[in-house]
Structure 1
Amino acid sequence: MSAQVLVSRPPAPQTVPPHSLPVRSVEAPYNTGESSSSGLATSGFRTAKYLLEEWQQAGYTSFYQAFSDRDGSERNRHEAKQLAAEMEARAQRSQADSTKKLGERLLDVYYWRAELEREIRDVTAETHLLLQCKNRLQTALDATDVPFIISTDNLHCRERREGGELVRDGAEIELIKEVELIRNVQELLRRTLEQTIQQIRMNRDAKEKLEMDWSDKVEAYDIDDKCGRHNNQTTDIQFHHNSSKLEDNASTPESWAQYSHDNIYRAERERMASINLRSLIDNILQDVSEDLRSQCDNVNSAFAKRCEEVEDAKRKLEDHLNKTLKEIGDQENNIAALKQAIKDKEAPMKVAQTRLYQRSYRPNVELCRDPVQFRLVSEVGELSESVEFLKQKLDEAEQSLRNLEDTRMSLEKDIGNKANTLFIDREKCMTHRTRYPTVVKLSGYQ
């Protein structure tokens, strides 16, 4: 080390020829002649040498230079040793501080990794629950096809009612309400299903972001953990030039933490939206199932009431038909009696007219308008009038019989129509409605 320290030292004295030595002038004493002669005799030798003081000064200079060099070398060695120790301690402190900061960084990475794992589990579980709700919505939507088919089939069947039975009654009004309700429910379920699918997609996007962030943190944790395990005795350490530069695209601790925070916040927001949507789906499925079953009960009640009304009307019509048939029989007997009564008047008419005819042959003055003649004429008039009354009554009876026959036919037709209506409502509609889905099925459960 001392060989590298540059020390300013005087040049060593060199042997030079006498003629090149400087001539030192010596002043002679002012009052001695011997000194002058002696100086002349030795002048050549004296000028070729250093003075004793110069020799001594040169020795002192050499001694001082050697001492100075040794002292500088010792000081340099001490400083170098102290510097090496300080640098070693500094290097150890720096390495320890870096290791400590790596440990702190590992704690930060582990914290955010754990938070990401927790949020990933929560989002995954929530997405699974939302998928179940989606399946329930799809099942409920498929289940509404059966009520819609039943309701429309009931309406089409009731179009086959005949005559006056083709009426817009309470059952038909409730059926139309049911069809409209089912259409609205289907539209609501379709919109909710689309919203659920969109929410599932957003949940999966948020989960993908979390998983990518988690994967990066796992890799960064492994790298930092490996870096934290490096020490001076590690065998796989080596020089990496230009590794100490900062990358242009490197993030700051604040932006790094904010990135994970934003991902978690977005996932939590989507998870809360998913929870709210699941609650909405539960309410929707419960409401629509109850509404559909309630409307189904209303339709069934309307059908039952209508069937009772038709059955009562049919029973009354049958009673009237029986009475009409009895009256038709009585009227037929009455017509027969009237005809017989008219026929029975023929003989008295013949007798009265024969009497009048024979008495018209009385001679001369015997052709008298006696009381007998007046009575016979009156009898013929009474018989003719009776016959006319009987014929008039006969006409009325025959017209009444025709009316009764028309009424019978109308009653029989009405009874047939009502029987057809009862068959449609009871055997077709109400039997078909027994296949109406239950509340559990309409709620989306299998």
Structure 2
Amino acid sequence: MELVGSTLTATFAHPRPTPSNFLPAISTMASSYKNRFPHYALTHSLSLPWRPSTYYKVAAITPTLAPFSKSSQGLTPSHALPFVSNRTALFTRYTPDDWYRATLTNYKESEASRHNAERLRVDTSRLIQEKDQQIRKTQNESTKNLGERVNDIVFWKSEINHEIDGMIGETNALTDMKKRVERALVETEGQLQVAQECLLHREKRMGIDLVHDDVEKQLMTEVDVIHSCQERMRRHLDKAIAQLASNRAAQHELEKDLSDKQTAHRIDDKCHHLRNTSDGIGYYRGVERVDATISVPDSWAKFTDDNILRSQSERAASAKLRDDIETMLVVTANEMWNQFNKANVAFTNRISETADAKNKIQTYLAKPLQEFLETEMSIEAFRKAVRSKSSPLKVAQTRLDERTRSPNIDLCRGLSPVRLGLVNEVYEIDDTIQGLQQRLREAEDTLQALVHTKANLEHDLAIKANSLFIDQEKCMGMRKTFPNTLRLVGYT
């Protein structure tokens, strides 16, 4: 039996349904189990911001199945039947066994709820610890990956820096070589001008000396050699300019990649040193769904490796070009120098020939001069002799003329010894004068020939002197200023 008004009648009258898997909050039972399981102390607060209303609603159900309850009879409190105090008017609702079983059921349900709550608390604690360990492991793995990424970036940065230093050195060396080619090209202009001026000066030779001799051939060959060397220098200079552009392009790619690596290193290093207690951390909702990457580790490493390989290839090509330019400068300098020496040898031989011819002309000129004087003396002697024969001729002719005036018989003709003697004398004197005049004319012709020869020798001597002056003074005077081998290969 129970006291009237007890709420347990409703519980006995309506047994509780099978407990659901939904359990009340642990915080609501914390005071009941405080310090009972100290070895399962939670590391974090398990207080929840909600309270299961189902449990409390079930526990607070008002009994409605009692036979004489007002609510079971459909009566409101204001229309409830009056309470009958006579116990005999009431009938027995439950037996004591029902009461004990209901109590035992409540005990079992309470114990089951307590066990479920304890199991949930233990599972929750274990789950929290496992998740904490898993998160720490994942975070450590991410930190390790970030550290490896930072090391990879540092490695590639060092490789890029090393390659940039090599490329800068190679570019500077190629720039110096380019300047050497430019200086050598300028030096060849002076040599070319000297050779061309020598050709122009030799065009001022006169007469028979204006010949296409070995000197002119060597000078023309020297001009051709200089033009050929200049053409090779210009080709290598164009190659050097193009190679410098390629070197700078490769260096620009490396510097751009290095700048990206430095930025990535700063970002990844910052991420690597971030901790749960670091400042500046916050929520970025949906960031895990954003994939802004444009490469994978393989393509990332290959990109830098390709840049380095390209730079190394350009450096190798630049080094080979420098060797080619060095060889070209040496070869062209030797070619120009050898041809310069050949032209000088030709000049020396020609000057020697011209000087020898000039000396011979001077020697031959001295002989006609002496003969010219003697011939003039002979001509004067012939003239004097002719003049000396005029008086005897006059005497003989006067005698003959006077005897023609003899009178009558005294004009004796025939073989008179006197007349024959006079006639013979006249003919003899006249033949003598004619012979002397013939020899005089011959002497005068000889004198004219000597004069002509003297003029020719003097003219030839002037030609030789002019040629000697051009070759020895003008041409060889200029060729003494020819640059040395060091300047031909581009050194100052």
TM range (shorter): 0.7 to 0.9
Report the Cα offset of residue 398 of structure 1. 0.9
Moved more, 390-399 or 357-366: 357-366
Q: What 5-or-longer segments of structure 1 have no aligned partner?
A: 22-41
> Does residue 1:157 correspond to 2:206, yes or no?
no
Q: Which residue of 2 aligns with 1:31?
A: none
- For the residues of structure 2 that align with 1:97 and 1:252, how far apart are their CA atoms? 19
SS in 1 for 2:313: helix
SS in 2 for 1:207: helix
Task: Give the number of equivalent residue pairs.
Answer: 426
SS in 1 for 2:192: helix
- For the residues of structure 2 that align with 1:308 and 1:44, how far apart are their CA atoms? 172
Q: Which residue of 1 aligns with 2:175?
A: 131
- For the residues of structure 2 that align with 1:53 and 1:429, how far apart are their CA atoms? 149
Corresponding letter in the other structure for 2:460: D
Report the Cα offset of residue 443 of structure 1. 1.0
Q: Which residue of 2 aligns with 1:243?
A: 287
Q: 1:380-422, CA deviations, whole angstroms, 9 ceiling, x for partnerless residues? A: 4444334333322222221121121112112112211211221
Q: 2:192 aligns with which of 148, 155, 161?
A: 148
> Does residue 1:310 correspond to 2:358, yes or no?
no
Q: 1:52-97, CA deviations, whole angstroms, 9 ceiling, x for partnerless residues? A: 4433332332222112211111111111111111101101111111
Corresponding letter in the other structure for 1:267: S
Corresponding letter in the other structure for 2:121: R
Corresponding letter in the other structure for 2:218: E
Q: 1:107 aligns with which of 151, 163, 182?
A: 151
Q: Which residue of 2 aligns with 1:423?
A: 469
Q: 1:293 aligns with which of 309, 332, 337?
A: 337
- For the residues of structure 1 that align with 2:284 and 2:358, how far apart are their CA atoms? 106
Corresponding letter in the other structure for 2:307: N
> Does residue 1:271 correspond to 2:320, yes or no?
no
Q: What 5-or-longer segments of structure 2 have no aligned partner?
A: 1-24, 29-50, 71-86
SS in 2 for 1:285: helix
Q: Which residue of 2 aligns with 1:394?
A: 440
Q: Which residue of 2 aligns with 1:56?
A: 100
Q: 1:421-446, CA deviations, whole angstroms, 9 ceiling, x for partnerless residues? A: 21222221111211111111111111
- For the residues of structure 2 that align with 1:367 and 1:13, how far apart are their CA atoms? 220
Q: Which residue of 1 aligns with 2:260?
A: 216
SS in 2 for 1:97: helix
TM-score, normalised to structure 2's length? Answer: 0.78
SS in 1 for 2:282: coil
TM-score, normalised to structure 1's length? Answer: 0.86
Report the Cα offset of residue 267 of structure 1. 1.0
- For the residues of structure 1 that align with 2:100 and 2:118, how far apart are their CA atoms? 27
Q: Which residue of 1 aligns with 2:278?
A: 234
Q: Which residue of 2 aligns with 1:333?
A: 377
Q: 1:362-382, CA deviations, whole angstroms, 9 ceiling, x for partnerless residues? A: 947964426776566555444
> Does residue 1:68 correspond to 2:112, yes or no?
yes
Corresponding letter in the other structure for 1:14: P
> Does residue 1:403 correspond to 2:452, yes or no?
no
- For the residues of structure 2 that align with 1:54 and 1:352, how far apart are their CA atoms? 218
Report the Cα offset of residue 159 of structure 1. 2.6
RMSD between aligned residues = 2.9
- For the residues of structure 1 that align with 2:403 and 2:413, how far apart are their CA atoms? 7
Report the Cα offset of residue 130 of structure 1. 0.8
Q: 1:103-158, CA deviations, whole angstroms, 9 ceiling, x for partnerless residues? A: 21112111111110110000000011011111111211222222122222222222
Q: Which residue of 1 aligns with 2:296?
A: 252
Q: Which residue of 1 aligns with 2:15?
A: none
CA contact (8 A) 1:119 1:268 kept: yes
Moved more, 10-19 or 280-289: 10-19
The answer to which structure has the higher helix fraction is 1
Q: State the identity as a percent.
A: 36
CA contact (8 A) 1:359 1:367 kept: no
Report the Cα offset of residue 101 of structure 1. 0.8
- For the residues of structure 2 that align with 1:249 and 1:98, how far apart are their CA atoms? 17
Q: Which residue of 2 aligns with 1:34?
A: none
CA contact (8 A) 2:403 2:411 kept: no
Moved more, 342-351 or 363-372: 363-372
SS in 1 for 2:287: coil
Moved more, 193-202 or 85-94: 193-202
Report the Cα offset of residue 18 of structure 1. 3.0
- For the residues of structure 2 that align with 1:357 and 1:266, how far apart are their CA atoms? 129
Report the Cα offset of residue 293 of structure 1. 1.6
CA contact (8 A) 1:123 1:267 kept: yes
Q: Which residue of 2 aligns with 1:119?
A: 163
Higher relative contact order (CA 8 A, sep 6+): 1
Moved more, 207-216 or 158-167: 158-167
Q: 1:83 aligns with which of 111, 122, 127?
A: 127
Moved more, 230-239 or 249-258: 230-239
- For the residues of structure 2 that align with 1:149 and 1:196, how far apart are their CA atoms? 26
Q: 2:63 aligns with which of 5, 10, 14?
A: 14
Q: Which residue of 2 aligns with 1:38?
A: none
